């Protein structure tokens, strides 16, 4: 249990995140126990510059290696992560507060992602184009250079892997800045890449918050910024990157709709709604937090969903039986978004029985009904375990209401009618639509947003295009035609 963790572990963490002595410290809070996990010094311009220069020199070596050679190193990194999955997952729990059950899945997705892109590294290729007179052209898929990755706090190790794996497969280097709230596990990933054999500096971690992030986005040697975080910060990142004509991928927030039709398999729809709302204490970008339920099945749906929400085991995230751990800390009593919505369960601070966890940040998962489309809880991303349930009558009506948002990250539909499922998927304005499931994200499948939820993609083959550029080579086989 978390309470029994040896202090040595915390001392090691302090060591891991210690940076050069500088006056200002950022504190990273240990969410599960409410204590300070470590103090770290944000990287200033000198450290940022040093890391980008060292990444650039590593990129020169790495990008000249054959894709198959890069693949071998990446496969070794994936193997090490797989071998140490339990240890890394435990660190992720301490870093972030999510349950060990979920942290293990995150670590598995991380090594699978690195393995997947290792498989693609040897397949990078261009095109051959025949031209008149025997001339021809070919295209080369080349790396971009030094890419910056900036991560959110909710999936620290997974985000670092989702960004670095395609970047490295394409021959780039990456300087990664984790969230200052969860600074630890990206460093573990850096150590593993090093151990697997990447050149020194190829994957660097810099610590810090907005100021360090700004320095990274503004650095002239950076070719691309891949950002995961909130919409307001994403807009700033895009603005800064635009000034340097840097490519950008933005993975931003959401307020995704989940549509549950009366012809659904109700048991699966209830499970889907729980998966859509309560993973990682509700702190998931693509969560289906607007649950539209067809009026005829609303009472039965609410009864089942509330019963199961009340049964969710909240508490020490290191215990196998826990299903919901600790988060940034929020509860409905401190939030003014209710506006007449009815709290069916949860939404209160939760105090674990273990005295060592009393200062931790826990909240009981919450279901709201009597919600209206224009309420704050329905319009804004809460980023906590709060499900808003809304009734609907007809397909056309619910699609229009579901699309009435500036976000467009994900969506979902539960129905037994196959035609309706695909029609709804076509008409929902979101980067992903889950049919009869929610929040599954195999690494082979692209993930990313529409509208204010961002652009660019992570995962899947298409992401290779976001971490590489095409060079066209035109070859003359005859004499040069001269007009002059
Ligand atoms: N679409 C996705 O894939 C995805 C995944 C996870 C989280 N998110 C979103 O992230 C948000 C929650 O994460 P958060 O609270 O850590 O987000 P955030 O925007 O507060 O911070 C994200 C990162 O940006 C950095 N940052 C802050 N100001 C910056 C600046 N001016 N320049 C550069 N970097 C800066 C932070 O230090 C942090 O590393 C939610 O909105 C969630 O939906 C999206
Ligand atoms: C792995 N999930 C659950 C799809 C989450 C992706 C990252 C979003 O916050």
Ligand 2 binding pocket includes 438 (Cβ within 6 Å)? no
Q: How far apart are CA 280 and CA 20, in angstroms?
A: 32
251 a catalytic residue: yes
Q: How far apart are CA 432 and CA 288, in angstroms?
A: 11
What's the gap in Å between 178 CA and the centre of ligand 1? Answer: 9
Per the CB < 8 A criterion, the answer to whether 201 and 54 are in contact is yes
For the chain, helix (H) and strand (E) counts, in that order, are: 15, 18
Give the ligand at the shortest distance from the Cα of 255. Answer: 1
φ and ψ of 351, to 5 deg? -110, 115
DSSP for 159-203, please give it. Answer: HHHHHHHHHHHTT-EEEEE--TTS-SHHHHHHHHHHHHTPPTTSE
Ligand 2 binding pocket includes 225 (Cβ within 6 Å)? no
Q: How far apart are CA 375 and CA 8, in angstroms?
A: 47
Number of Cα atoms under 13 Å in the Cβ half of residue 171: 22
Residue 330's pLDDT is what? 54
Model ipTM value? 0.97
Q: Which residues pair with 260 in a beta bridge?
A: 293, 414
- What residues have CB less than 8 Å from 24, skipping those under 6 apart? 41, 42
What's the gap in Å between 126 CA and the centre of ligand 1? Answer: 34
φ and ψ of 340, to 5 deg? 95, -5
Kindly list the protein residues whose Cβ atom lies closer than 6 A to any atom of ligand 1: 150-155, 177, 179-180, 209-210, 213-214, 217, 228-230, 233, 236-237, 251-254, 285, 381, 383, 409, 449, 454
Atom of ligand 2 nearest to the CA of 284: 9
Ligand 2 binding pocket includes 154 (Cβ within 6 Å)? yes
Could you please state the CATH topology (level 3) that the domain comprising 2-252+449-471 is classified under: Aldehyde Dehydrogenase; Chain A, domain 1 (3.40.605)
Strand spans (E) along 190-305:
203-205, 222-228, 247-251, 257-260, 290-294
For the chain, give every domain's residue range.
2-252+449-471, 257-435
Q: What is the pTM of this model?
A: 0.93
pLDDT in tens, the chain (484 residues): 333 333 323 332 322 222 222 334 455 666 677 777 788 889 999 999 999 999 999 999 999 999 999 999 999 999 999 999 999 999 999 999 999 999 999 999 999 999 999 999 999 999 999 999 999 999 999 999 999 999 999 999 999 999 999 999 999 999 999 999 999 999 999 999 999 999 999 999 999 999 999 999 999 999 999 999 999 999 999 999 999 999 999 999 999 999 999 999 999 999 999 999 999 999 999 999 999 999 999 999 999 999 999 999 999 999 999 999 998 655 565 555 677 899 999 988 888 888 888 888 899 999 999 999 999 999 999 999 999 999 999 999 999 999 999 999 999 999 999 999 999 999 999 999 999 999 998 999 999 999 999 999 999 999 999 999 999 999 999 999 999 9
Per the CB < 8 A criterion, the answer to whether 39 and 13 are in contact is no
Q: For a pocket test of ligand 2, which of 441, 458, 459 has the largest count of ligand atoms closer than 8 A to its C-beta?
A: 441
Give the ligand at the shortest distance from the Cα of 43. Answer: 1
How many other CB atoms are found less than 10 A from the CB of residue 339? Answer: 12
DSSP 257: E
Q: How far apart are CA 22 and CA 148, in angstroms?
A: 23
Q: How far apart are CA 257 and CA 292, in angstroms?
A: 7
Which helix or strand (DSSP H or E) is residue 435 part of?
Answer: strand 432-435
What's the gap in Å between 284 CA and the centre of ligand 2? Answer: 6
Residue 29's pLDDT is what? 62
Could you please state the CATH topology (level 3) that the domain comprising 257-435 is classified under: Aldehyde Dehydrogenase; Chain A, domain 2 (3.40.309)
Q: For a pocket test of ligand 2, which of 155, 159, 254, 409 has the largest count of ligand atoms closer than 8 A to its C-beta?
A: 155
Per the CB < 8 A criterion, the answer to whether 398 and 261 are in contact is no
Token couple for 65: 């290696």
Residue 11's pLDDT is what? 30
Atom of ligand 1 nearest to the CA of 250: 1
Q: How far apart are CA 166 and CA 222, in angstroms?
A: 17
Q: How far apart are CA 100 and CA 102, in angstroms?
A: 5
Residue 167's pLDDT is what? 99
Indicate which residue of 102, 251, 304, 381 is catalytic.
Answer: 251
Ligand 2 binding pocket includes 286 (Cβ within 6 Å)? yes
Residue 357's pLDDT is what? 87
* Among 163, 183, 375, CA closest to 289: 375
């Amino acid at each position: 249990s978390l309470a029994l963790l040896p202090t040595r572990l915390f001392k090691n963490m302090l060591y891991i995140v210690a940076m050069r002595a500088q006056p200002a410290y950022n504190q990273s809070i240990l969410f599960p126990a409410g204590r300070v996990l470590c103090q770290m010094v944000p990287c200033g311009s000198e450290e940022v510059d040093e890391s980008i220069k060292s990444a650039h020199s590593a990129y020169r070596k790495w990008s000249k290696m054959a894709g198959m050679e890069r693949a071998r190193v990446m496969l070794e990194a994936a193997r090490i992560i797989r071998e140490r999955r339990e240890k890394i997952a435990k660190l992720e729990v301490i870093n972030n507060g999510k349950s060990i059950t979920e942290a293990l899945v995150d670590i598995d997705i991380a090594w699978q992602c690195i393995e997947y892109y290792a498989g693609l590294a040897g397949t990078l290729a261009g095109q051959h184009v025949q031209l008149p007179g025997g001339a021809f052209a070919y295209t080369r898929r080349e790396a971009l250079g030094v890419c910056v990755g900036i991560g959110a706090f909710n999936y620290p190790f997974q985000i670092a892997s989702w960004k670095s794996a395609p970047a490295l497969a394409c021959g780039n280097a990456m300087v990664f800045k984790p969230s200052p709230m969860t600074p630890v596990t990206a460093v573990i990933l850096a150590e593993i890449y090093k151990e697997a054999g990447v050149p020194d500096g190829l994957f660097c971690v810099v610590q810090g918050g907005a100021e360090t992030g700004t320095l990274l986005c503004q650095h002239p040697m950076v070719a691309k910024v891949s950002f995961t975080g909130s919409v307001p910060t994403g807009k700033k990142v895009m603005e800064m990157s635009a000034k340097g004509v840097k490519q950008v991928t933005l993975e931003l927030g959401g307020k995704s709709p989940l549509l549950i039709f009366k012809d659904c398999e109700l048991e699966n729809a209830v499970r889907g709604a729980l998966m859509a709302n309560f993973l990682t204490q509700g702190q998931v970008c693509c969560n289906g937090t607007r649950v539209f339920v067809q009026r005829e099945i609303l009472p039965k749906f609410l009864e089942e969903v509330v019963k199961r929400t009340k049964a969710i085991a909240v508490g020490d995230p290191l215990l196998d039986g826990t299903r919901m751990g600790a988060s940034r800390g929020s509860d409905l009593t401190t939030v003014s978004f209710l506006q007449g919505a009815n709290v069916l369960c949860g939404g209160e601070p939760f105090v674990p029985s273990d005295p060592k966890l009393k200062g931790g940040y826990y909240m009981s998962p919450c279901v709201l009904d009597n919600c209206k489309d224009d309420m704050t809880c329905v319009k804004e991303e809460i980023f906590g375990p709060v499900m808003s349930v809304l009734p609907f009558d007809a397909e056309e009506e619910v699609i229009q209401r579901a699309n009435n948002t500036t976000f467009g990250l994900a969506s979902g539909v539960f129905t037994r009618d196959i035609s309706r499922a695909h029609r709804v998927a076509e008409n929902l304005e979101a980067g992903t639509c889950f049919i009869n499931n929610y929040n599954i994200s195999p690494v082979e499948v692209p993930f990313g947003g529409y509208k204010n939820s961002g652009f660019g993609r992570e995962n899947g083959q298409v992401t290779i295009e976001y971490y590489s550029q095409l060079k066209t080579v035109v070859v003359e086989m005859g004499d040069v035609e001269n007009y002059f």
